[in-house]
Amino acid sequence: MNRPIRAVAVTAMVMFFALMANLSYLYIGQQDYLNERSENRRVADARFGQDRGPIMVGNTPVAQSDAVKDKYNFQRSYSSGKLYAPVTGFYSYLYRTSALEASYSAQLSGVDSSQFWTRLVNTLSGASQRGGTVQTTLDAKAQKAAWDALGGRKGAVVAIDYKTGAIKALVSYPSYDPNSLATHDLAASTKAWDKLNADPGRPLSNRATREIYAPGSTFKLVTAAAALESGLSADSLVDASSYKLPGSSKVISQNCGGSKITLSQALQRSCNPAFARLGAELGAEAISAQASKFGFGTKFLTDIGSAASVFPDPDTLDAAQTAMSAIGEYETQATPLQMAMVAAAAASDGKVMDPYIVEQVLDSDLKVVSQAHPDVVSEAMSSADAAELRKMMVAVVEHGTGHRAQIPGVTVGGKTGTARTSADRNPYAWFTAWADDPSVAVCAFVEDADIPATEIAGGAVAAPIVKAVIEALR
């Protein structure tokens, strides 16, 4: 073989190996990237034609795939679309997936590694591939009660079993119908998507876990916990007289029943001067640390999407800002989920349980492939101090601002909150509470009560919502 022929042969060989290397890289290294590209209609058609498994609430599928006679073979449907949309999310040809439809997509499609042997058996036997089942922790009665009690007002409700962390109800309003996005009529799906995104009410937003708001006086539970951990008790006297913020002309005044009252009475009457002064005395570091122990700064329920609640950086706060932050104002921000977790921690002897919304996943043969287990995230306070805080919260419901949450035969402890964020909008109304029977903590948040601002208060607007959810779980 002469030199020119050898050169051509070597060049061809190098090009051949370069081609093979590139194809191998694309097949292995770029597989996910190529599959996820919106232009890849073949992959999109195959994905959309899968027999996905159901998402269950109790024994009822709230999302399921039904056989249809079109090129996609299966239609995803949602039986109570708006009610469960923040949890199920949607499964759409054009807009992909969200919430559980996204985070458990592999399991619902039957392609997760945990379902390998079931998939192999089905392939060898010639059986059609079916998806797995996602079983949620939600209680249908509690979910419906939360929805009904919210009554078409902007807001959210979260209920947690404080012994385990299982989510029993999670509602956000306004909501949307996932069926409008899952439809095989792609023009209709596009129209629905554009309309939802243009809606000023932001129905695609999950107000329960993905939005943060000023928590108002519900945050006084965190400040009270910090005070108890510092050595105070429910019966310790605190200064409730008018308080001039350090270095400011602003004066916080309120008739709290005397210039010297107990810490329990201060919480019962939601006394702003007492808690603002207490916050400044405890200091930003102590309150920030206490908030972190309750879960501020951490994202929970990431399988449906979440935001971390925020207490301002203590290094940036002066005494006046610390005082305002201690009563849930200034830059303190929280999700309804987080404030439910604060009440839950008080009820569970100070333990913060990791919240979860999926109880178990089953394969297509209904064999359990994964099971949730209760997990303690942190200890927010000692058992003794948690008992003190519970006693104080019970007084709020039995004798204070939370009296509308009273339920005969049930011990309920709670805290009201009303947060004004600007002069041109109505205040937020909050109520977070726990009950001894059932063992549940509930937070109700109303973003817009649609009544005169002077009539808005957490006890009047949000406490009855919490009561309705607790009663539904009995």
What are the catalytic residues? Answer: 217
Helix (H) or strand (E) holding 376, with range, is: strand 376-379
- At residue 279, the 3 state secondary structure works out as helix
CA–CA separation, 44 and 94 (whole Å): 9
Query: In angstroms, how far is CA 468 from the centroid of its own chain?
Result: 20
Q: Tokens 């940036």 — which residue?
A: 316
In 3D, which of 41, 143, 53, 132 has the Cα closest to residue 94? Answer: 41
Q: Name 113's Cβ contacts closer than 8 Å, sequence gap at least 6.
A: none
> 343 burial class (0-12, 13-18, 19+ CB within 10 angstroms)?
buried
Q: What are phi and psi of 369, to 5 degrees?
A: -110, -20
In 3D, which of 346, 297, 332 has the Cα closest to residue 428? Answer: 332
Token couple for 70 = 């079109």
> 422 burial class (0-12, 13-18, 19+ CB within 10 angstroms)?
exposed
Token couple for 48 = 């959309």
Token couple for 157 = 């409700």
